[in-house]
Structure 1
């Protein structure tokens, strides 16, 4: 579904990715794990066109990936960044309606009513501004807004960062429901247990390269890899 082949990328004169190769398969969850600074978020930004690849190739559903983020979104990829990037001056309703209106022509199963069913708390906060939301509510809003794009692939960068344990558990339940519904996902996450319990496939990134690939069961059993690359 999504393929990265020997991709290099970085910022200015600083190279971060060195020949990254990854595959996210249809209907599965790929978890990208690694220490801080390993290149995980840079990988996602490169996929989304926020950083141009310096070498290598990226394809989606067998076709070359568009270069502009807007065109990548239209191709069917929704991105929930680490910073969430909701519009703080808009209400919850307005944040959601922007995506709902823009992608309404695509049709699809995700509607405003359905994302409220998934995140009932948002339904209680529809008239509140973005700055009035807790961190957990902002994350719910960011995910709900992405789903309204009716994506074929959902990409999430550190969805549990800074959240209380009870909210982490809630986000886990909602992502598990999306997985069980067949949505393909790529997940970058520092929380090893959270990621391993959701993933079908795991890729570990270290120093800008893929250093380990396998199943969640295999990475749980590989204590040497956990210690070396994840600090677990």
Structure 2
């Protein structure tokens, strides 16, 4: 579905990814793991066109992925950034309306995302700055779903959240997985990621150094220590 082939990328003169190749398959969840600074978030930003591809190729459903973020979104990829990036001066409803109106005709509606995240329904008139971290994360995911993505990519969705909220986010993502939504998940929480994933790829120094199943990485203690510091 999403294929990166020998992709190099970075920030300004600093190169972060070095000939990175990885594939996310349709109908499955790919967890991308690695230490801080390994290149995980850079990989997602490069896919989304937020960073330029210096070399290599990125394809989605067999077609070369456009290079601009709005074109990538239009192609069917929803992005939940690590920073969430909701509009703090707008209400929950206004944040959702922006995506809903831009992607009218989507299978996802405001009513449907509120059914998935009932808490948002209770906070519709609240501004972004009045939301807890967990509520902001729910809003960021809901907004991405309103774009009717065929692939949802999430960057560190549990960062800074209380354990009870982490479990709620896990349950909702599992529900999306059971519904057949393809996902790419960058996550530091090893248990969270491997319980959701069908496939696992580990990044170190801008390259893929390990691939396998969740069961295989859970059993490979040496790889955990070497590449993840678990």
Same fold by TM-score, threshold 0.5 exceeded? Answer: yes
Task: List aligned pairs for 1:58-207, cutoff 5 A.
Answer: 58-104=58-104, 107-207=105-205
**How far has the Cα of 1:162 moved from its partner?**
0.1
Q: Which residue of 2 aligns with 1:8?
A: 8
**How far has the Cα of 1:206 moved from its partner?**
0.4
Q: Which residue of 1 aligns with 2:220?
A: 222
* Cα separation, 1, equivalents of 2:46 and 2:207: 14
**How far has the Cα of 1:12 moved from its partner?**
1.1
* Cα separation, 1, equivalents of 2:217 and 2:198: 11
Number of equivalent positions: 230
* Cα separation, 1, equivalents of 2:135 and 2:205: 33
**How far has the Cα of 1:182 moved from its partner?**
0.1
* SS, match of residue 5 in structure 1: strand
* SS, match of residue 58 in structure 2: strand
**How far has the Cα of 1:109 moved from its partner?**
2.2
**How far has the Cα of 1:77 moved from its partner?**
0.3
Task: List aligned pairs for 1:43-62, cutoff 5 A.
Answer: 43-62=43-62
Q: Which residue of 1 aligns with 2:38?
A: 38
Give 5+ residue unaligned stretches, structure 1: none
Q: TM-score, normalised by structure 1?
A: 0.99
* SS, match of residue 54 in structure 1: strand
RMSD value, Cα: 0.5
Runs of 4+ residues deviating >4 angstroms: none
Q: Which residue of 2 aligns with 1:23?
A: 23
Q: TM-score, normalised by structure 2?
A: 0.99
